[in-house]
């Protein structure tokens, strides 16, 4: 008799002893044998903790006949992909004589793997000694597969979302680049137009021609000033009307080159749709130019500009101390035509009042009430 | 001042040259690409330069700027896109935002003349966006 034969014999005998403790009509033993839950009992007091009892469900699960199991250690279920760390956990639980629930990859007799939800528990004698280990198994391969299918589906979905997000981001970036490219061209064109006017104004010997060119240049520069305000923030559809008004008035009064013009402001930010930029630029330009023509340019004085939101409208108030006289002439008529046309375009109302030495001009421009929202 | 203009739009460069000459300066070179600009900077005695960022060979004005800084030539950028300028302004005094007005350019030029002569006082004209280092020094 070999060592191995001997130990199998010992295990068989231990199993028989265990059975002998129970009558054949013991409902617990019957349940153990008949349950569809695969179960085994091992004997830790024998060398290498062999299986001394296994039920039919265990044989169905693993493909091993009862005779092939008795006397063997449970490690016969291990295979190449079995996690060594889990095996170590099981061994530690046995050595420490405590229960353990753990998921382990096991192998059937035919070599096919299955996921085993193993529950292991020591059985103690009345004296408290561990006399058996009881282990139940549950094949949850299908669940595991479904889990990994779910994980795979999730990762696919995540990849798809990432891909589409990137597409969107790329499209947005392309749009931003395009806006900046167009903006760059508009700016260069405005400056080229201004350059041509300036070059010709420099060359001409005729004062009337020079004055006319400068009058056109002034309006082109008003467009230039407003163009600089566009697309400067993430909100490409709006610009700050107050910021623009300050820049325009500062530049125009600065161009008069007089120290005796006192320019003051009272500004609060007002978002204006970009689509209204050009007519608004002209309206402001004509108003300031008019004050300069009426007398600021000849005799100095005060100019106060207030820009605010008033009852959901964009409100500009300009007060000046220029002599309230009608400058008359072609330039004056032309300026009025531009002013009225632009006011009509944006639905602005312009009122002019003369209080003694002060001229007060009010401009009310409706802006979309929805958060000074979209262009119409 | 002996001035270099780096600008790929010939009409803009021509007008800027007239403006500078009218103010009593000499434009000793015009470059449309970064290569041209660097060659001119290497072979001419320059007091100042106006540098557009978008040139014939791309947004290479920044590179020209660094080259000018190495040569110790003060300059300003002239650009429609201030966001293109690096944080250190590549050593530029500042930037004149395009499209500038005639008055804006003249005031910026007056500031530049004072700066090149060593004057470090006086407010920045609204048409010149000063570099952070210049703001600190002021």
Over residues A192-239, the pLDDT tens digits come to: 999 999 999 999 999 999 999 999 999 999 999 999 998 877 788 889
- Report the number of distinct structural domains present in chain A: 2
pLDDT at A11 over 80: no
A288-305 pLDDT, tens digit each: 999 998 888 788 899 999
Q: Which of residues 107-126 of B touch A (CB under 8 A)?
A: 107, 126
Residue A358 domain-assigned (yes or no): yes
Residue A285 domain-assigned (yes or no): yes
pLDDT at A164 over 50: yes
Same domain for A357 and A243, yes or no, is: yes
Residue A209 domain-assigned (yes or no): no
CATH architecture under which domain B2-137 falls: 3-Layer(aba) Sandwich (3.40)
Same domain for A133 and A254, yes or no, is: no
Q: Which residues pair with B55 in a beta bridge?
A: B58
Q: Is the dihedral of CA A335, A341, A343, A346 positive or negative?
A: negative
8 A C-beta contact, residue A291 and residue A263: no
Mutation pick from B61, B102, B124, B125 vs chain A, by most beta carbons of A within 10 Å, is B102
- pLDDT of res. A51: 94
Query: How far apart, in whole angstroms, are the C-alpha atoms of residue B64 and residue B5?
Result: 11
Residue A91 domain-assigned (yes or no): yes
φ/ψ of residue A78, rounded to 5: -75, 155
Q: Which of A106, A139, A172 is the last residue of a domain?
A: A139
Query: How far apart, in whole angstroms, are the C-alpha atoms of residue A330 and residue B72?
Result: 52
**Sheet architecture: strand order including B26-31:** B26-31, B2-6, B48-52, B75-79, B94-97, B128-130
Residue A244 domain-assigned (yes or no): yes
> Which range, of A8-17, A93-102, A266-275, B56-65, averages the lowest pLDDT?
A8-17
- pLDDT of res. A376: 39
* H/E stretch holding A137: none
When comparing pLDDT for B55 and A373, which is higher? B55
CB-CB: which of A184, A221, A247 is closest to B81? A184
Q: For position A96, which CATH number holds?
A: 3.30.450.20
A313-349 pLDDT, tens digit each: 999 999 998 875 666 688 888 999 999 999 999 999 9
pTM of the model: 0.69
Which residues of chain A lie closer than 8 angstroms to B81, CB-CB?
Answer: 180, 183-184
- pLDDT of res. B72: 95
CB atoms within 10 A of CB A272: 24
Nearest chain A residue to B17, by CA: A199
pLDDT at A177 over 50: yes
Residue B101: HSE in the Cβ half-sphere, 13 Å Cα cutoff:
29
Same domain for A17 and A122, yes or no, is: yes
- pLDDT of res. A171: 92
> Which range, of A4-8, A351-355, B42-46, averages the lowest pLDDT?
A4-8
Q: How many CB pairs under 8 A join A and B?
A: 72
Is B21 part of the contact surface with chain A (CB cutoff 8 Å)?
no
- pLDDT of res. A126: 87
Query: How far apart, in whole angstroms, are the C-alpha atoms of residue B83 and residue A64?
Result: 75
- pLDDT of res. A357: 84
Query: How far apart, in whole angstroms, are the C-alpha atoms of residue A55 and residue A70?
Result: 11
Distance from CA of A216 to the nearest CA of B (A): 13
Q: Are A188 and B104 a contacting pair at CB < 8 A?
A: no
- Parent domain of A15: 3-139
Query: For chain A, where are the alpha helices, taking DSSP H only?
Result: 3-20, 27-34, 56-62, 66-69, 84-96, 141-203, 207-229, 241-256, 277-291, 297-299, 329-346
Residue with tokens 């409100």: A315
Q: For position A296, which CATH number holds?
A: 3.30.565.10
pLDDT classification of A23: cutoffs 50, 70, 90: low
Q: Are A255 and B101 a contacting pair at CB < 8 A?
A: yes
Q: Which of residues 1-20 of B touch A (CB under 8 A)?
A: 9, 11-12, 14-16, 18-19
């Amino acid at each position: 008799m070999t060592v191995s034969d001997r130990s199998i014999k010992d295990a068989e005998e231990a199993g028989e002893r265990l059975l002998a403790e129970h009558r054949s009509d013991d409902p617990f033993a019957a349940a153990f044998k008949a349950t569809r839950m695969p179960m085994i009992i091992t004997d830790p007091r024998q060398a290498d903790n062999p299986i001394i009892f296994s039920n039919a469900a265990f044989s169905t699960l693993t493909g091993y006949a009862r005779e092939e199991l008795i006397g063997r250690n449970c490690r016969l279920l291990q295979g190449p992909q079995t996690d060594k760390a889990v095996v170590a956990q099981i061994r530690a639980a046995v050595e420490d004589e405590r229960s353990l629930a753990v998921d382990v990859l096991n192998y059937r007799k035919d070599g096919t793997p299955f996921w085993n939800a193993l529950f292991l528990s020591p059985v103690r004698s009345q004296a408290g000694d561990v006399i058996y280990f009881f282990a139940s198994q549950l094949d949850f391969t299908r669940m595991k597969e479904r889990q990994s299918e779910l994980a795979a589906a999730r990762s696919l979905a995540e990849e798809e979302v990432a891909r589409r997000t990137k597409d969107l981001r790329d499209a947005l970036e392309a749009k931003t680049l395009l806006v900046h490219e167009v903006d760059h061209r508009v700016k260069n064109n405005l400056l080229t137009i201004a350059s041509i006017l300036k070059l010709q104004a420099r060359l001409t010997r005729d004062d009337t021609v020079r004055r006319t060119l400068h009058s056109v240049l002034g309006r082109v520069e008003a467009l230039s000033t407003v163009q600089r305000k566009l697309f400067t923030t993430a909100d490409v559809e709006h610009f700050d009307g107050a910021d623009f008004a300050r820049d325009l008035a500062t530049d125009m009064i600065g161009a008069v080159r007089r120290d005796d013009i006192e320019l003051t402001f009272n500004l609060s930010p007002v978002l204006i749709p970009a689509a209204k930029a050009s007519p608004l630029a002209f309206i402001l330009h004509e108003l300031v130019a008019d004050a300069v023509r009426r007398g600021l340019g000849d005799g100095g004085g005060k100019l106060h500009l207030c820009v605010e939101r008033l009852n959901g409208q964009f409100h500009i108030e300009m007060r000046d101390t220029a002599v309230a006289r009608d400058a008359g002439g072609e330039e004056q008529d032309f300026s009025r035509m531009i002013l009225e046309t632009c006011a009509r375009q944006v639905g602005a109302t312009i009122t002019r009042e003369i209080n003694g030495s002060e001229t007060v001009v009010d401009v009310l421009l409706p802006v979309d009430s929805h958060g000074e929202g979209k262009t119409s | 001042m002996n001035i270099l203009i780096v600008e790929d739009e010939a009409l803009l460069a021509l007008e800027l040259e007239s403006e500078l000459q009218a103010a009593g300066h000499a434009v000793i070179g015009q470059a449309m690409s970064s290569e041209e600009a660097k060659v001119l900077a290497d072979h001419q005695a320059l007091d100042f330069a106006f540098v557009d960022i978008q040139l014939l060979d791309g947004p290479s004005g920044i590179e020209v700027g660094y080259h000018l800084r190495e040569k110790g030539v003060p300059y300003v950028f002239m650009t429609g896109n201030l966001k293109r300028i690096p944080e250190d302004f590549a050593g530029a005094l500042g930037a004149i935002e395009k499209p500038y007005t005639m008055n804006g350019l003249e005031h910026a030029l007056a500031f530049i003349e004072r700066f090149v002569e060593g004057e470090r006082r006086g407010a920045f004209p609204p048409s010149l966006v000063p570099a952070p280092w210049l703001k600190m020094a002021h």
